[in-house]
């Protein structure tokens, strides 16, 4: 139970009140300013409620700047989650002319086309992406991107966004999803911040944050007061295709009441592309909205379909980013951060400075060699750079401005957290703490990763809570998270009161944990935090092994025998090369990791991985080997198409192979297929089978 208010002495109330004011302000800043809330909206409500109660009981202690004097900052309930019918993808990036050229060349190679490929170029708007669903030409749903597969329902909040028609004309398809960017114009952003200052509220760091903070208001009447706009640039699900080109899509969307970002251009080659890029870069300072680059899209939709996707982005589009923005400031100090894999990363503490609209006070220095190579010293003036969402970097010192007092940094050989030896293995740039399980920093970082948004996504379980629980010995390994509620009956109480938790806050956290006791295999693998195994690789592993038990069996076979078939299976998985395989097997070779897995399995339900395959795919789950020269498609295209239909594409023929597709001049693979009795298909037969 919460301590009853009438049990409080005034002195107690003042202490608690000061804590609440500070804490609520911090959460307001995280939520509105940074768009990065640390606690759930429900937990925030509890804090606000307690503040209100104290203010009513002790009106003479109320401070002028109390959060209760702000209107509209109170989120009341969470957004509903919605699954996207077609995933919302992101874009690959190009940073130079060579990268842009490479984008074109790869497309030509993939499609085996030597001629020019028409590209539609348009600005890349810096806002937040949104999917609008129209059914029978009425707007029925608006959703944020979220993790690409699932976003948040913001239908109520987009009602007042300019450029979002509520209804479409008769010639629009019955079902249509329009994807685009919600953004705030620069002049509107400046005026909003002015109003925030006048009202004594926190200001937004940049127009993107302002747009995101405005859209994510749980009270849609506040969103209605924020001047937001929408640019449409792509499509999701649709009942009938209506255009053969990207340019046509832009035209159709415009005729239906959407707005497309200007200027756009059709380009035929790298010269056209670079002319467009330079032109837009020149216009950039005078555009009414923020852009962070331009986007190139293959104009022909039929070619887009052939090109398909790689991991989370289309092969047919890329974002060509503008150069990062730079600034000069003073390097006040260097401290060492310890990551979840024990890596020691030097971080620069800077005199705060605005770069590209954002205040930067820390930047990464990567590793000890970088500090040496750049010769940056504490006290130096340094050039820092920020590009998009990337962590700001220190480029180097301004030598003319170096003072005599500037000090060389001596990189520690011991972990600053647990004091274990930190070693650098031969050929590695990173120095790592050898403390393993005893190192608090590693344990906490691993737990943070475990509960993070793209892993277990446990709402309300922020860094502060993890550290507290860790220090109290309540959560040492991930499986302890799922036993928290059990423990709560006894030993949690003192901790609760220290953290200022009421019953509701605890309930919210336990509920959030409970909701995640069923988790998809790919998220589970990602949550383990195995070095080099990110989200995309986790998905590939989940798709390949199907279940955790199967994956563990295969890993167990391979850990001590790299000559076995299971090992070549691992290397056959897209994205998994020998180095990733080493890290993966390294993880499964450690008994303490196996113990953690066993422990987790007891608390969790991990359903067999559901592959997103085309409905009724005749080759889902089948293993296919392509051999010889194919006539109507490139090998890469054939592989991508087969995989999108749920087939596994292997490099060599074995008993497990279902089909060998033999092109012209097929050699030894064809021979082994007939020896093993594997079904052999011609290119034509394969295309008939998959319905091309
Ligand atoms: S096309 C299937 N066009 O940039 C690809 N995206 O960094 C759909 N963005 O997720 C994206 N302007 O939120 C496209 N003209 C534009 C864009 C644009 C901004 C955003 C979008 C995307 C992100 C990738």
CA 515/CA 82 separation, integer angstroms: 16
Beta bridge partners of 125: 291
Closest CA to 113 of 640, 682, 632, 666: 632
* Average pLDDT over the chain, rounded to an integer: 87
Residue 71 neighbours by CB under 8 Å, 6+ apart: none
436 vs 539 pLDDT, higher one: 539
Q: Residue 613's pLDDT is what?
A: 54
Indicate whether 229 and 368 sit together in one domain: no
Structure confidence at residue 569 as a pLDDT band (50, 70, 90) = confident
18-32, 300-314, 491-505, range with the lowest pLDDT? 491-505
Say if CB 496 and CB 503 are below 8 A apart.
Answer: no
CA 507/CA 485 separation, integer angstroms: 9
Residue 362: how many other CB atoms lie within 10 Å = 15
Q: Is 318 in the pocket of ligand 1 (CB under 6 A)?
A: no
Q: Residue 1's pLDDT is what?
A: 32
Atom index in ligand 1 nearest the CA of residue 129 equals 13
340-344, 356-360, 386-390, 522-526, range with the lowest pLDDT? 386-390
Longest dimension (CA), the chain: 91
In a domain, 416, yes or no: no
Q: What is the pLDDT of residues 634-678, one digit of tens each?
A: 877 888 888 878 888 888 888 889 999 998 888 888 898 989 999
Indicate whether 589 and 650 sit together in one domain: no
CATH number reported for the structural domain that contains residue 45 in this entry: 2.40.50.140
Q: Residue 158's pLDDT is what?
A: 95
Indicate whether 157 and 238 sit together in one domain: yes
Say if CB 291 and CB 284 are below 8 A apart.
Answer: yes
In a domain, 188, yes or no: yes
Q: Exposed/middle/buried for 80, CB within 10 Å: 0-12, 13-18, 19+?
A: exposed
Q: Residue 230's pLDDT is what?
A: 98
The count of structural domains within the chain is: 5
What is the arithmetic mean of pLDDT over 49-67? 81
Indicate whether 232 and 334 sit together in one domain: no
Q: Residue 211's pLDDT is what?
A: 93
Q: Residue 217's pLDDT is what?
A: 84
CATH number reported for the structural domain that contains residue 560 in this entry: 1.10.150.20
Inform me whether the pLDDT recorded for 77 exceeds 50: no
Single residue among 299, 318, 337 that ends a domain in this structure: 318
In a domain, 58, yes or no: yes
Indicate whether 537 and 682 sit together in one domain: no
Residue nearest to atom 21 of ligand 1 (CA): 129
In a domain, 331, yes or no: yes
The SS3 of residue 613 is coil
In a domain, 449, yes or no: no
What is the arithmetic mean of pLDDT over 32-55? 69
Catalytic residues: 124
Q: How far, in Å, from the CA of 255 to the mean position of ligand 1?
A: 21
Q: How far, in Å, from the CA of 246 to the mean position of ligand 1?
A: 14
Structure confidence at residue 482 as a pLDDT band (50, 70, 90) = very high
What is the arithmetic mean of pLDDT over 433-456? 90
In this structure, what are the phi and psi dihedrals at residue 160, rounded to the nearest 5 degrees?
-110, 10
Indicate whether 275 and 360 sit together in one domain: no
Q: What is the pLDDT of residues 317-344, one digit of tens each?
A: 999 998 877 889 999 999 999 998 899 9
CA 209/CA 26 separation, integer angstroms: 16
Domain with 575 in it: 521-603
The percentage of the chain sitting over the pLDDT mark of 70, rounded to a whole number, equals 93
Single residue among 291, 318, 345 that ends a domain in this structure: 318
Closest CA to 273 of 100, 98, 105: 100
Q: In what order do the strands lie in the sheet with 265-267?
A: 92-94, 317-321, 291-298, 119-125, 265-267
Residue nearest to atom 14 of ligand 1 (CA): 233
Indicate whether 581 and 677 sit together in one domain: no
The percentage of the chain sitting over the pLDDT mark of 90, rounded to a whole number, equals 50
What is the arithmetic mean of pLDDT over 80-103? 91
CA 299 to chain centroid, in Å, comes to 27
What is the arithmetic mean of pLDDT over 32-53? 67
In this structure, what are the phi and psi dihedrals at residue 592, rounded to the nearest 5 degrees?
-65, -30
Structure confidence at residue 390 as a pLDDT band (50, 70, 90) = low
Inform me whether the pLDDT recorded for 74 exceeds 50: no
Q: How far, in Å, from the CA of 124 to the mean position of ligand 1?
A: 7
Atom index in ligand 1 nearest the CA of residue 319 equals 7
Structure confidence at residue 371 as a pLDDT band (50, 70, 90) = very high
What is the arithmetic mean of pLDDT over 508-523? 92
In a domain, 613, yes or no: no
In 61-144, the DSSP E strands lie at: 81-83, 92-94, 119-125, 128-135, 138-144
In this structure, what are the phi and psi dihedrals at residue 355, rounded to the nearest 5 degrees?
-125, 120
Inform me whether the pLDDT recorded for 149 exceeds 60: yes
321 vs 273 pLDDT, higher one: 273
C-alpha distances out from residue 440 to 341, 415, 545, Å: 12, 10, 33
What is the arithmetic mean of pLDDT over 432-441? 88
Q: How far, in Å, from the CA of 563 to the mean position of ligand 1?
A: 44
Inform me whether the pLDDT recorded for 486 exceeds 60: yes
Atom index in ligand 1 nearest the CA of residue 90 equals 10
* Residue spans of alpha helices (H) in 30-184: 41-57, 97-111
Q: What is the pLDDT of residues 172-181, one digit of tens each?
A: 999 999 999 9
Indicate whether 527 and 558 sit together in one domain: yes
Indicate whether 168 and 289 sit together in one domain: yes
Inform me whether the pLDDT recorded for 388 exceeds 80: no
Token reading at 316: 């047919």
- Total number of residues shown for the chain: 692
What is the arithmetic mean of pLDDT over 462-489? 86
Inform me whether the pLDDT recorded for 261 exceeds 70: yes
Inform me whether the pLDDT recorded for 5 exceeds 80: no
Say if CB 512 and CB 40 are below 8 A apart.
Answer: yes
Q: Residue 358's pLDDT is what?
A: 67
Structure confidence at residue 532 as a pLDDT band (50, 70, 90) = confident
Q: Is 94 in the pocket of ligand 1 (CB under 6 A)?
A: no
Closest CA to 183 of 239, 226, 222, 148: 226
Q: Choose the residue to mutate in 212, 314, 319 for probing ligand 1, maximizing ligand atoms within 8 Å of C-beta.
A: 319
Residue nearest to atom 13 of ligand 1 (CA): 129
Residue nearest to atom 18 of ligand 1 (CA): 124
In a domain, 446, yes or no: no
CA 352/CA 331 separation, integer angstroms: 10
Beta bridge partners of 313: 310
Inform me whether the pLDDT recorded for 402 exceeds 90: yes
81-95, 395-409, 609-623, range with the lowest pLDDT? 609-623
CATH number reported for the structural domain that contains residue 632 in this entry: 3.40.50.10190
Q: Residue 488's pLDDT is what?
A: 72
Q: Choose the residue to mutate in 132, 233, 296 for probing ligand 1, maximizing ligand atoms within 8 Å of C-beta.
A: 233
In a domain, 448, yes or no: no
Label residue 641 left, alpha or beta by phi (over 0 means left) and psi (-120 to 50 means alpha). alpha
Closest CA to 146 of 453, 482, 399: 453
Residue nearest to atom 2 of ligand 1 (CA): 89
Token reading at 489: 């009956």
Inform me whether the pLDDT recorded for 3 exceeds 60: no
Indicate whether 258 and 341 sit together in one domain: no
Q: Which residue carries 């700001």 as its tokens?
A: 392
In this structure, what are the phi and psi dihedrals at residue 639, rounded to the nearest 5 degrees?
-65, -45
In this structure, what are the phi and psi dihedrals at residue 94, rounded to the nearest 5 degrees?
-120, 135
CA 222 to chain centroid, in Å, comes to 27
CATH number reported for the structural domain that contains residue 249 in this entry: 3.30.470.30
Single residue among 267, 294, 318 that ends a domain in this structure: 318
Instruction: Assign 3-class secondary structure to 230-260.
Output: EEEEEEEEECCCCCCEHHHHHHHHHHCCCCC
Indicate whether 225 and 131 sit together in one domain: yes
Indicate whether 156 and 239 sit together in one domain: yes
Closest CA to 260 of 252, 270, 269, 272: 252
């Amino acid at each position: 139970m919460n301590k009853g208010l009438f049990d409080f002495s005034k002195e107690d109330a003042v202490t608690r009140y000061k804590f609440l004011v500070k804490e609520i302000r911090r959460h307001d800043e995280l939520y509105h300013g940074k768009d990065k809330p640390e606690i759930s909206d429900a937990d925030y409500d509890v804090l606000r409620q307690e503040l209100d109660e104290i203010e009513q009981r002790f009106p003479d202690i109320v401070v002028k700047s109390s959060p209760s004097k702000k209107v509209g900052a109170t989120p009341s309930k969470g957004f509903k989650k919605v699954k996207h019918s077609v995933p919302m993808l992101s874009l690959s990036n190009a940073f130079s002319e060579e990268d842009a050229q490479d984008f074109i060349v790869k497309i030509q190679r993939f499609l085996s086309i030597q001629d020019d490929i028409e590209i539609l170029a348009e600005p890349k708007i810096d806002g937040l992406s949104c999917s609008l669903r129209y059914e029978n030409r009425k707007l029925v749903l608006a959703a944020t991107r979220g993790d690409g597969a699932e976003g948040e329902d913001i239908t109520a909040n987009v009602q007042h966004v300019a450029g979002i028609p509520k209804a479409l004309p008769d010639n629009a398809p019955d079902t249509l999803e329009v994807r685009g960017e919600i953004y705030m114009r620069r002049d509107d952003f400046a005026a909003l911040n002015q109003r925030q200052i006048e009202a004594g509220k926190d200001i937004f760091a940049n127009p993107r944050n302002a747009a995101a903070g405005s859209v994510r208001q749980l009270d849609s009447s506040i969103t209605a007061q924020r001047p937001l706009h929408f640019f449409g640039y792509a499509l999701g699900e649709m009942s009938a295709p209506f255009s053969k080109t990207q340019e046509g899509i832009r035209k159709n969307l415009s005729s239906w009441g959407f707005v497309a970002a200007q200027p756009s251009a059709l380009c035929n080659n790298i010269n056209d592309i670079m002319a467009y890029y330079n032109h837009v870069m020149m216009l950039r300072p005078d555009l009414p909205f923020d852009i962070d680059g331009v986007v190139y899209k293959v104009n022909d939709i039929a070619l887009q379909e052939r090109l398909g996707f790689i991991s989370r982005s289309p092969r047919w589009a890329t974002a060509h980013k503008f150069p990062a923005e730079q600034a000069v400031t003073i390097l006040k100090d260097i401290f060492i951060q310890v990551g979840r894999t024990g890596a020691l990363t030097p971080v620069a503490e800077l005199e705060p400075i605005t770069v590209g609209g954002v205040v930067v006070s820390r930047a990464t220095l990567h590793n000890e060699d970088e500090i040496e190579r750049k010769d940056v010293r504490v006290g130096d003036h340094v050039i820092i750079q920020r590009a998009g969402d990337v962590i700001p970097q220190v480029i180097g010192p301004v030598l003319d401005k170096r003072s005599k007092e500037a000090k060389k940094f001596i990189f520690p050989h011991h972990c600053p957290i647990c004091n274990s030896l930190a070693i650098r293995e031969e050929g590695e740039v990173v120095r790592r703490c050898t403390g393993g399980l005893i190192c608090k920093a590693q344990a906490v970082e691993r737990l943070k990763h475990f509960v993070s948004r793209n892993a277990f996504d446990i709402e309300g379980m922020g860094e502060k809570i993890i550290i507290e629980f860790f220090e109290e010995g309540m959560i040492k390994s991930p499986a302890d998270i799922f036993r928290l509620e059990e423990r709560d009956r006894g030993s949690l109480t003192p901790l609760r009161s220290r953290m200022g938790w009421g019953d509701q806050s605890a309930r919210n956290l336990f509920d959030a944990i409970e909701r995640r006791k069923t988790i998809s295999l790919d998220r589970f693998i990602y949550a383990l935090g195995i070095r080099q195994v990110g989200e995309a690789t986790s998905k590939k592993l989940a798709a390949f092994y199907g279940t955790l038990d199967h994956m563990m069996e295969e890993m167990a076979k391979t850990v001590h025998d790299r000559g076995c078939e299971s090992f070549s299976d691992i290397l056959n998985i897209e994205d998994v090369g020998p180095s990733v395989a080493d890290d993966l097997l390294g993880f499964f070779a450690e008994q303490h990791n196996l113990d953690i897995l066993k422990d987790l399995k007891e608390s969790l339900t991990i359903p067999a991985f559901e592959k997103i395959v085309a409905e009724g795919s005749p080759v889902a789950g089948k293993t296919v080997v392509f051999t010889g020269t194919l006539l109507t498609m490139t090998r890469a295209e054939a592989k991508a198409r087969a995989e999108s239909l749920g087939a596994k594409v292997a490099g060599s023929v074995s008993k497990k192979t279902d089909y060998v597709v033999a092109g012209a001049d097929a050699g030894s693979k064809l021979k082994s297929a007939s020896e093993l009795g594997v079904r052999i298909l011609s290119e034509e037969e394969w295309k008939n089978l998959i319905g091309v």
